[in-house]
Chain A
Amino acid sequence: MPASPAPSVSAPGTPSPSASRKRSLAFILPLIIFAVIAGLLFNGLWHDPREILSPLIDKPAPDFRVESIEDPARMVDRKDMLGKVWILNAWASWCVACREEHPVLVDFARTRTIPVVGLNYRDTRADGMRWLAQFGNPYATSAYDEAGRVGMDYGVNAVPETFLIDKQGIVRYKHIGPVTPDLIQDTLLPLIQRLNAG
């Protein structure tokens, strides 16, 4: 007996128009679903899982009070920065990407737009100071976070990380990775202007 390839019945006459429409729908629908899922997955390729969305955005910047890197007797206290818009930049002498962004920060600090406070993350005083002497010091001061506890409060998991904090001490923006001139021009400066006005 010849094998019948498809379940199409050898009924009297050809299948009705609505039946063939239903059949083409049956083909198209899975294709649409596939396209949607493929689109979502494709879009997901562009998401870097390392860029964790910070839960600190629009929340108060965590308090800290630690020694400065320059002088153990002088403390760096987050509360001192209230009333000013400022940047907290986590850096370390062992961090290669930090070296990449450093000239950008030095230039930015020279414009005296807003204070840049460093957070020397999991470093030694000697290494950190030497690094600043070698590559320039854009920081009003740097908090010496040897154990990384302040960093942990700020959700730092990879240096460099940069936070923009407003006059009330609320974190308004976080950037993971080196700061670029484009980032400063396109994102930070407009935001700083808005925060300074408010």
Chain B
Amino acid sequence: MNDSRHWRRAAFVAAALLLSLGSALAASAIAREAPEVGENPAIEHHMMELAKELRCVQCQNQTLADSEAPLAVDMRQKMRELLAQGKSDEEVRQWLVDRYGDFVLYRPPVQGNTVLLWFGPGLLLIGGLAALYITLQRRMARLDAAAAADPQWSAADAKRAQELLSDDSEQGSLS
């Protein structure tokens, strides 16, 4: 009886593995049109580096480098042309931002309306750590005051407790 249970479990695991492997292979095997490639390899590389940090406005979860949307193809073509004209990285980015807004950049510029986006998490973290620190300090102070006020707790006891707590030797093990 035990045997059959083990066999069933093994069969299930094998099936699950095969299914996931199969679907992973299938996904990579889906036929895709070869993406268009420019003629100049240096410009192509340069353009792709820029495109990796730009958002495809049609397929908004993809970068401009990855997306096969017609608009992305057009935008890449335009970027090639701009680079061939000798425009700088900043100028190419600005060209797109002028038409599609800041949203096309994956790194939003640090300006008035994005200050909270950039620094908010950091501020929250610092605020949280500060709150934690203050809480701990207060707690320590409260415990110290209570210990001092406790008639049954003497300074000698406190010293002994401190020694025990900071003792790293085998005597201080928890087992």
Contacts and interface: CB of A to CB of B under 8 A. Distances in A.
Given A9-B143, A26-B135, A122-B70, A154 B99 contact: yes
B41 interface: no
Contacts of A56: 99
B99 A152 contact: yes
Given A9-B146, A152-B74, A54 B58 contact: no
Interface residues of A, number: 24
Chain B contact surface mostly: helix
Contact of A155 (B70, B101, B135, B145): B101
B51 to A, nearest CB: 15
Interface residues of B, number: 23
Contacts of A9: 142-143, 146
Given A50-B60, A148-B71, A157-B71, A11 B146 contact: yes
A12 B149 contact: yes
A125 to B, nearest CB: 18
B97 interface: yes
Nearest to A26: B135
Contacts of A28: none
Interface string A6-37: 01011110000000000000100000000000
Interface in A106-131: 122
B57 A157 contact: yes
Interface in B134-174: 135, 139, 142-143, 145-146, 149-150
Interface of B: 57-58, 60, 70-71, 74-75, 78, 97-103, 135, 139, 142-143, 145-146, 149-150
16 contacts: A7-B139, A7-B143, A11-B145, A49-B103, A52-B57, A52-B103, A53-B101, A62-B99, A147-B74, A148-B74, A152-B74, A152-B78, A155-B101, A157-B58, A157-B100, A158-B58
Interface of A: 7, 9-12, 26, 49-50, 52-56, 62, 122, 147-149, 152-155, 157-158
